[in-house]
Each structure stands twice: as C-alpha cells, then as structure tokens.
Structure 1
Amino acid sequence: MAPVAVDHEPRYLPVAVVATHGIAVMALTAVVCRGLYCSYWDLTPSQGARARQASRARLVPVFAALAALSLVVATKSAADYAALSYRVWADERGFESDGRFPYLSGNVTRWLSDTPIYRDAREIVSEKARRLFWGRQLDLGMTTWTLLLSIEGRRRRIPYTWAYFCLAQMASLSFAQNLFYVALLLTPTPLPLGSGAEGRGRLAQVLGRVFPSKPSNWFPSPVASTSVLYLGCAVMALLPETSGSIVLRITSLALLAIPTVAPLSWGAVYSPPHGAHDTHTKTFRTFSLATFVMYALGAGYALAYNAPDSHYHRHSIRMPLDTARRSEWERASTAVAKVLGSTADHPVVAAAGRDVLLSALALGLWAAVRAMDSRQIISAAWPLAAAPGLGAKSMADDVAETAHSVVAKVADDDDDKAEEPPTPAPRRRGRPRKIKQEDRAPEEANGDSAYKPSAEEVATAAEGDLLPEEDVDWEAAALTWVINIVGGLGCGSAGVFGGECVSR
C-alpha cells in the first residue's frame, strides 16, 4: 500500500487536550488526597479508640495499594494504546516507528492531529459484541457506584465528591473506587458542618448560593434516581456505540447532582435518618434489576455471535465432504473463551477488562471487611429476595433508641449536676488535718478527667460505622464475587453498596 501523503498543517488543539487530560488527572488526585488528609484530622475523639485505630491502620494501606495498582494498570494500558496508535499512523505514512515509545519523536503533533484517539477508543470497544461486553460492565458498574457516591458522600459530608467522579471518568473506575473506600474508612461518622476542606471549598459555597441547602437527613425519592438509570440503560440498549460516550457520562453526573439540584419536594426528610434505609434498598434493588437485564442481554449477544457453527468439516482423504457435529458444551466453552480472551484483542479492551476485574476484586474485599450481613447483600442485589429477619431496619431502630437514651442520660446528668448544690462536709473539732499532695488521687493531682462525649457526638456516633465482629468475612466476599459472575459488575455493586448504606 502506498504511503499516505501529509498535506495539511498540524493542529495543536489535540495536543493541548491530551496534555490537559493528564494534568487534570494529577490535579484531581491531589485534590482527593487533600480531602482525605482533612477528613483524617477532623475525626472526633470518639473515633480514636484502639480498635478503630487498629482497623484503619490495617485497611487503609490495603485499599490505597489497590488504588495505586489500578492507576499503574490504567497508565500502562494508555501507553500501550498510544504506542500502537502511533505505529499504525506511522506505517500508513512511511515514517520510522521503531522503539517502545516512538511518540517521543517530532511527529507527535501530526499524529494527534490526524488520529481522533478518544473516538477510536470508543469505536474499538463497541465494534464487536465480545468487546462491548466489557465496556457495558464498566458503564453499569460506574453508574451504580455513582449512586453510592451520592448517598454516602452527602451523608458523611465527604469533601470533594465531584473529584472522585471525575477520576472515575478520566482515569479508572477501580482507582476512584478504592480512593473512595479509603475516604469511607477515614470518615466513619459524618464530619461536622463547615469543617475540613468541605467547609472551605469554593465550589460548595457557590452551589450553596445557587441551590438552597437541604437538611442532612433529606434524601431524594427513588423515582428520580431510577428514572435517570432507565434513561442510561435505554441509551446503552439502543445505541451500543455510545458505550462510555458523553451521553452516559451526563447520565452518571445526573445521579451525583440530584441531591443538590433537586427541589425539596422531590424527596423526604427522615427522622431518624435510619428511616431512609428502605428507600436506599428499593433504589439499589431497581438498579440491580436493570443492570442484570443489561448484563444478560450483553452476555447473550456476545455468546451468540462468538459461538461456532453446530457442524464443521473434517479433513479426510477418503471423504472430503464429511461433516461432524459439535456438542453444545464445546460451542458454549468456545464462545466463553472468545469473550474472556477479547481483552487481548487491543489495549483499549484490555484496559476495560482489567478495570472491571480490579473493581470486582476490590468490591469483594470491601464486602469482607465491612460489618454487613450476607442477607443484606442478597436483599439489595435481587428484588425477589425476602428481607432478612434481623435486617437493617430493626438494627437501625435499636441503635437509634440506644443513642437517644444515651443522649437523654447525658443531658439529665448535666442538669442534675447543675441543680444540686454541693453538700457541705461535716466539721470536726480541733485543728484541721493537713492534706498532703500525695494523698490526692492521680486524677485530682493532674487535673485530668475521663473523656465524656457530648450529646452531639453520641448522636453522630449512632450514624457511624459498626466495627465487624470478625476481621475478615470471606463468606461475604465469596458471595459478592459469585454475584459479579452471575449478574455482572452492576448487580454485584448494587448488592454490596446497598448493604453498605443500611449496615450502620
């Protein structure tokens, strides 16, 4: 094939877009790290118990390492895609393309001017059914995770939730997920109002002026969230080539923005906030059903298009037209192998597949280290599952009643101390006895007293996380991975995230 002549001047806008993309990922990562730092220093004294400190010291490095691994994998996949794209472009035009990183030469501007790398990546994923299978899993998992980001980010007042969302869109879903897991570990209870980075953020101040603030225990109706989800699923079903496009990104952004921009009449105020558990469960159940249907359709199309014919010709000298029949197991296993092996077709497909696998791995580990029941996961992942007998609602009611009783007791103790005058000590005859310094108790000598949480801190602790009885619950992890295999990443994420929202 004759080389293609380059007959136009290079454009620098694509170079600026790619450079801005890389700089934005680094800046967003720095913003998230700043928010994590502020969340750590804003922990209340009640969260400084030895058990909680040991739990954070053990789990935070694990999910931070998974986040770093996800970022390294995403960076390597992007570098492989860039190198392959440049080699194809250089071969078509007769340029030298030797070396591992040929894009360091002076032709990078011409290459980016001639090659729409973002559009090519979307087309590569959606051009075949076995590749589209991984792209849809990524989209469905991202949509379900955005709902968790919206609920827990607002309830715990985690700063810079928009940065997590942007990182999931621009870098990697598993990278943003693991960073958000670290944020959940560092904010077991809702942060105080106006504290940390959230109180100093300019974006939060601007949004507070444009949209009226809502009570902290206000949650939108499930109809609003499910309507956005059905819109995204309809886009994926009717226009498969838009997998990962701007339409689905806007759909996911709408889920994150609903609690901020929605009118007050679109939701309800729950007092105590545990009353919203049923709403969260219904929302995640609806999400799980929709994602399961999309997963079944995508898997069915992928297996149908990649299954070999039922008959094949056997090469024989005596009978050249001899045919043999393949068994159903042989056809199914071949189709499954092609779908799973499609991650080796192209670096873009490999990036999507690795992102899905890393997200599923972290999801199972998260279910194993949290205080959630397996029945809660099943109840949130499958609409037809019965609610657990000792489910989240009864547990939440018990915790709320205990918190209110403790708050009332603390208030009564303060009133009694304020009302009762000190009883005068009986006077003795003779000279008063000298009180030596060493006769005093150590607490009186030092002037220190035991820490007593205030009523506000006790009420906040009732909304916090519960420490699991076991360090790691591998039963919940195995259940999560099985749901991911059977129902897809979106269904498994709905089960775990739904259990996360009702497990406190």
Structure 2
Amino acid sequence: MDLDVPTNHPGALIFWAYIAAALGFTGVVLKTIRQSYLQNGRPKIPQFLIILAVSSFATLSYHMLSVLILSYRQWTSLHAIPLGALIGSNRTPLHLWRWSTTSSLFQGFGEAIVANKFRWFLSSSGLWSTLAVAIYMGIEGRRCKVPNLWAFFALLEILPTSFTQSLFYIMLFTKPRSANSNDQLLSYWPFWYSVPLLYNYCLRSASEYADDGEWLIYTILAARLLLILPLVLPLNSLGSLPPGTKSNTLQQVANLPLATFTMAIQFFAQKSGDLDVWENTSSLLLEALNSHPAVKTLSYDLGHAVVAFFYWSLRREKVELVHDVTAEVIEDEPAAKRKSANKKRR
C-alpha cells in the first residue's frame, strides 16, 4: 500500500518503543516491590492500594487504547483505506506500521487536550498532579532509600500519574521502619522552587501553541523532562532523628513550603484560565471530559491520584505505628526468653 504522504519512521519507532518501555519499566518496578516485600518479612500491604493500582492501570489502558483506535479510524477515513478487522467473516489486515509512520499520534494527543480552555483545565490539572508526585517521590524515595527509584521516575515519565503513585505507596509499605531506626531528615535546595515555575511556564506555553503542533510537542516534552529534576536535584541532610521519632510527620513539615509554593503556582495558573465558575462551568467541564479519550485519560487518572493521596495521608501514620509496636515486641522476645530460662533454673 503506497500513500503519497510524508513518513516518519523515527516517530513510529519512538511510539512502539514507548509501549515496550512502559511494559518493561512496569516489570522492573513490580520486581523491585516483590524483592523488598520478601526481604522485609512480608509486611502487610493494604488491599485498597493494590485494587487502586489495578483500577488505574485498567482505566489507563482502556482510554489510551481508545485514543489509538480513534487515531486509526481517523487515519483510515482520511486516506480512504478499509478499516480492517482481525476477527469475523470479513477479516482484513490492519495497517498498523503504515499508520504509525504516517500519522501524528503524539501531536494529535497534544492538540486534543489543548483544543479549548475546558479541556485544558482538566488535562493540566492531571499534569500538575504528576509534578506533585514527582517531587514527593524525589524526596521521600531518597529518604527511605527506595531501590531502583529511577524506574519509578521512568514509569512516571511514560504513563500518567496514579499508576506509578500507587505502586510507590505500595513500595513504601514494604519498607517498614522500626522504633530503633534512625531516619534522615532531608531539606531541599532553593533551586527546587524553580521546578514548579519552569513547569508552569511549559504548560502555559503549551496552551499558546495549540495551533502549532510542532512547538506544542516540544513544550509538552520539555514539561515531561522537568519531572526528572526531583530525582537528581541535591538534598541536604539535617541529620538523623532520634529513635522512635515520627519522621514522616517532621518530613512533611519540612516539605511544607515547597508544597505550598507548588500549589500556589498551580492555583494561579488555573485561575488565569478565565473559567467562570458561575455560568454552566460544570456542564461544560463534563462535556469537555467526554469529548475526547485523551482528556478522559488525564482526568480519570487525576481522580485516581487524588484518592490514592488521601488514602496514603490517612493510612501511613497508622501503619508506621503498627510496625513500631511490632518491632518493640520482637525486641522484647529475647528478654522474655531469658526471664523464663532463669525461672526454670531456680
């Protein structure tokens, strides 16, 4: 089949490598979680987080597949090519490689989410949640010495937020800290404040390049690359905390200025979108949500991310307390055995 259209073989290879990398990094992350789970005595992992991770992956897969199907349908319609079918009496081949080399899938995804201010409001909210998770993983992951932290960031680069976020929370549940452990309290350099500023600049530029597909892709790509910074930016150690201190609470207080600054940047960025909350905004947002599977992908992912965040915020302290009590019981066992042996001797 010959089409008189430009071909982009590097873009097609990137697309297929994108899918392979998503599966590969997911495998690395799951293997890391399993190893940590076995090495740390099979700690209890909340079933809710596992269900949430599965739900996130299933929802993501469904909507991303819808994006691909929509793109393929539009491509076949544009070039008057039979749609094709893999099953049924009228089975015909699918021209997937030709489609991937002559279509602009990534550009189409970007143009779909910035098509109007309501789509962009939903999509950019999901993108902001990605930055928040990246910053948290960069600080908490290094404080807890999470192995293969790079794989979590690689997965966050490729897929929307909530799947990686849920897996990261599960990973932290496999690394319980006992009452006798000395945790590090970390602080960040002032340069960390530039990350949300640069991210906001990229997202604002993306909405301005809605009619320029090439620059739109560049700005979205730049925003994705900024997500790597929390993994590599330096952190200062404020020293070790005394045994039994609730380090998670203190670390949250230490991170409060950066979190507040990031949320403020997001708030003012979203407020500048000129959404009138009093005039049919809810119905227009709902219409935007259902207008394209690309918007659904980011919006439903945001919903999963919010649920995961609130669950983690409420559950984490209780789990640490349980592990601390367990550690104390384990430490008291040798003493109890010695007392029992002394009684028998008497």
- Length-normalised TM-score, structure 1: 0.55
- 1:34-60 per-residue CA deviation (whole Å, 9 max, x = no partner) reads 11122112226xxx8xxxx5xx25x1x
Residue of structure 2 equivalent to 1:497: none
State which of 129, 136, 139 in structure 1 corresponds to 2:117: 129
2:262 equivalent to 1:290: yes
Distance 2:9 2:286 in 1: 38
State which of 47, 52, 61 in structure 2 corresponds to 1:66: 52
* Higher RCO (Cα < 8 Å, 6 or more apart): 2
Residue of structure 2 equivalent to 1:368: 314
State which of 219, 235, 253 in structure 2 corresponds to 1:281: 253
Residue of structure 2 equivalent to 1:430: none
Alpha-carbon distance change, 236 to 284 in structure 1, aligned in 2, over 3 angstroms: farther
Alpha-carbon distance change, 283 to 239 in structure 1, aligned in 2, over 3 angstroms: farther
- 1:286-339 per-residue CA deviation (whole Å, 9 max, x = no partner) reads 3334324423442552524xx8xxxxxxxxxxxxxxxxxxxxxxxx25122102
Alpha-carbon distance change, 221 to 22 in structure 1, aligned in 2, over 3 angstroms: closer
Distance 1:357 1:36 in 2: 24
Residue of structure 2 equivalent to 1:270: 239
Residue of structure 2 equivalent to 1:231: 198
Residue 69 of structure 1 aligns to which amino acid in structure 2?
A: S
Moved more, 219-228 or 70-79: 219-228
Task: Please show how residues 65-464 of structure 1 align to structure 2 within 5 Å.
Answer: 65-97=51-83, 105-189=93-177, 217=184, 219-240=186-207, 241=209, 245-258=220-233, 262=234, 267-272=236-241, 280-299=252-271, 301=273, 303-304=275-276, 332-371=278-317
Q: Which has the larger Rg?
A: 1
Distance 1:350 1:116 in 2: 19
Q: Alpha-carbon deviation of 1:355?
A: 0.5
Residue 267 of structure 1 aligns to which amino acid in structure 2?
A: N
Residue 360 of structure 1 aligns to which amino acid in structure 2?
A: V
SS in 1 for 2:317: coil
Distance 1:177 1:300 in 2: 28
SS in 1 for 2:259: helix
Aligned residues: CA RMSD: 3.8
SS in 1 for 2:186: strand
Alpha-carbon distance change, 90 to 369 in structure 1, aligned in 2, over 3 angstroms: same
- 1:95-153 per-residue CA deviation (whole Å, 9 max, x = no partner) reads 12265999983422222122121122112112211111122212221111112111221
Q: Which runs of 5+ in 2 are unaligned?
A: 210-215, 319-323
Contact 1:302–1:339, Cα closer than 8 Å, also in 2: no
SS in 2 for 1:157: coil
Alpha-carbon distance change, 283 to 81 in structure 1, aligned in 2, over 3 angstroms: same
Contact 1:43–1:187, Cα closer than 8 Å, also in 2: yes
Contact 2:186–2:237, Cα closer than 8 Å, also in 1: yes
Q: Alpha-carbon deviation of 1:74?
A: 1.0
Alpha-carbon distance change, 285 to 360 in structure 1, aligned in 2, over 3 angstroms: same
Residue 196 of structure 2 aligns to which amino acid in structure 1?
A: L
Distance 2:288 2:165 in 1: 24
Alpha-carbon distance change, 166 to 302 in structure 1, aligned in 2, over 3 angstroms: farther
Contact 2:195–2:229, Cα closer than 8 Å, also in 1: yes
2:29 equivalent to 1:7: no
Contact 2:130–2:160, Cα closer than 8 Å, also in 1: no
Task: Please show how residues 480-499 of structure 1 align to structure 2 within 5 Å.
Answer: none
Contact 1:226–1:287, Cα closer than 8 Å, also in 2: no
SS in 2 for 1:301: coil
Q: Alpha-carbon deviation of 1:352?
A: 0.8
Distance 1:15 1:41 in 2: 40
Q: Alpha-carbon deviation of 1:85?
A: 0.9
Alpha-carbon distance change, 6 to 140 in structure 1, aligned in 2, over 3 angstroms: same
Distance 2:299 2:292 in 1: 11
